[in-house]
Amino acid sequence: MAGAGISTPSGIPDFRSPGSGLYHNLQRYDLPYAEAIFDMDFFHQNPNPFFALAKELYPGKYRPNMTHYFVRLLHKKSQLLRMYTQNIDGLERLAGIPPQMLVEAHGTFATATCTVCWSKYDGEKLRPDVMSGRVPKCSTCKGVVKPDIVFFGEELPPYFLKYLTDFPLADLLIVMGTSLEVEPFASLADAARGSVTRLLINRDLVGPFAWRRRPHDVVQLGDVVDGVRALVDALGWTREVEALVAAGAEKAAAKTEE
């Protein structure tokens, strides 16, 4: 399970940090309240603030970091059952974690849907408009095309229900970089069997790790990348992770030159 704390090392601001968070930076749009940017009624009235955020977060601007490549290595070693992420930045996919191994609980920019006729679009089709500051319009009905990000009040993607079969099978739950405040994602931490070790790599104690810790819980507090690095070192996987990070950087550099 992962939240915004694994993406901030890549340079992506979190949402709520005073003075630097994404909500703060969007104040110039005179939002009635910060979360209005993810409110469908407000979106229908004024989609511009959301697409300003989309331009900031659209996949390709930021690079994955060691936390993402650690999960990629878990998959490579057939140790990853699934990654549940709150993030909408697409860094998990960019790190090479296959979409079928991901549950992007709060949606994704990889696909999009017309808000009028429900036509489906590949997220890359929207990139030119989003990067130019234009609101993407449907080629069929000229309605606004919205990336498949989950707004407040919308149902989570159907594949979120994979947790019903995934969590009973897990023999280790790693929780990284999340406040465990947003439901229903936060409750997943309690979906693992009571005998299963839960490892929290985080700046702070959160959720059940703060108020209802289990006997097998393990906590590594501090910088998330440092925590992952310590785990990778203990596993003897340092060279393998560093090789994935280097290959990812090389690929990104080659794409930039194109």
**Length reported for the chain:** 258
- In whole angstroms, what is the distance from residue 2 CA to residue 7 CA? 9
| R_g over Cα of the chain | 19
Indicate if 216 belongs to the active site: no
Q: Give the ranges where the chain is alpha helix by DSSP (H).
A: 22-25, 40-45, 48-57, 66-76, 91-94, 123-131, 163-169, 207-211, 224-235, 238-257
- In whole angstroms, what is the distance from residue 226 CA to residue 103 CA? 25
Q: What angle do CA 42, 44, 46 make, to 5 degrees?
A: 65
Q: Which of 24, 75, 106, 216 is catalytic?
A: 106
Which residues are part of the catalytic machinery? 106
